[in-house]
Amino acid sequence: MGMQGINVRQSFLREDMIDQSRKAGKKIATWYGKSDKSESQDTYDYLFGETGKRVDYFYSNFPVKAMKARD
């Protein structure tokens, strides 16, 4: 079975990774690392944003807040 997608730390997530994964029909997951800036509405806007769904899964320190932003 081949790779189903990628899981990458949010600070390393790049537009070309998103584009390549989408073109290949793969899922994208990301998470915030301890040394990354704290999660904020700007974070959620970037990950779930106005440009469309960028990530399929986001591992959050604040899951309820992140789900509300996503929805």
Contact 38, 9 (CB under 8 A): no
Report the predicted TM-score, pTM, of the whole model to 2 decimal places.
Answer: 0.71
- Residue 17 banded pLDDT, cuts 50, 70, 90: confident
Give kind and range of the element (H or E) at residue 39.
none
Three-state secondary-structure class, residue 3: coil
Computed over every residue of the chain, the mean pLDDT equals 80
State phi, psi for 6 to the nearest 5 degrees: -125, 150
* Closest listed residue to residue 30, CA positions, set 3, 51, 52, 61: 61
How many folded domains does the chain comprise?
Answer: 1
Per-residue model confidence as pLDDT tens digits over 43-61: 888 888 765 568 888 888 7
More confident site: 21 or 3 = 21
| Domain housing 51 | 5-70
